[in-house]
Amino acid sequence: MKIELKKISFSERMSEETNCFAADLFINGKKVGYVKNDGRGGCTDYHANTSCASGFTRVNIELIAEAEKYCKTLPHNEFGEQTLEDVINDCLEAYLKDKAEKKIEKKMQKEYLTAICYGARIKGGYSYASAFWKDYNKKYVPLAKVPLAALQKRYDDIKLRLNDNDVVLNTNLTALGIQI
């Protein structure tokens, strides 16, 4: 059974003890209801859509009931038997983690233009350092404007200092002519 959240609206500002969010609930690709949590430590609520014709409302309620039964067959979590609420919260956590990783990746792609980044991928992101190239005015210089010989020397120096778990993270160096 495929349980998904779509159109997630998350508010970090309103999240006090739990995540404050609202989303559409999809089961097996069909929108059956909505979920929400007010962020004050309470449960995540889920409800069937009731704004459609009565036949569809019954079907939505039945699909949610099937999903609740299905979740009880999943492996236990640290609190015991899984519930649909647990699966919904896991979907939200996966969404938030993916969003955070995309934000970090976007930041790093921007840094790759002016620095050689090196370090290690860790759970939830990267642990890395950046060797920026600055001009005499202490402004960042795009790596594409740095002489190739100087850039290659900087890359080789960084490579020599790396720990066993560290790597150069840039994805643009071969395009710039660096010998990896």
- Residues 42-67: tens digit of each pLDDT: 899 999 887 655 456 788 888 999 99
Distance CA 177, CA 179 (A): 6
The band of 123, judged by pLDDT with boundaries at 50, 70 and 90, is: low
Q: What DSSP character marks residue 101? A: H
Model confidence, pTM: 0.76
pLDDT above 90 for 119: no
Domain boundaries, the chain: 3-98, 112-168
* Phi, psi angles (nearest 5°) of residue 34: -140, 160
The token pair at 73 is 């067959």
- Residues 156-177: tens digit of each pLDDT: 999 998 888 888 989 999 999 9
Distance CA 163, CA 154 (A): 16
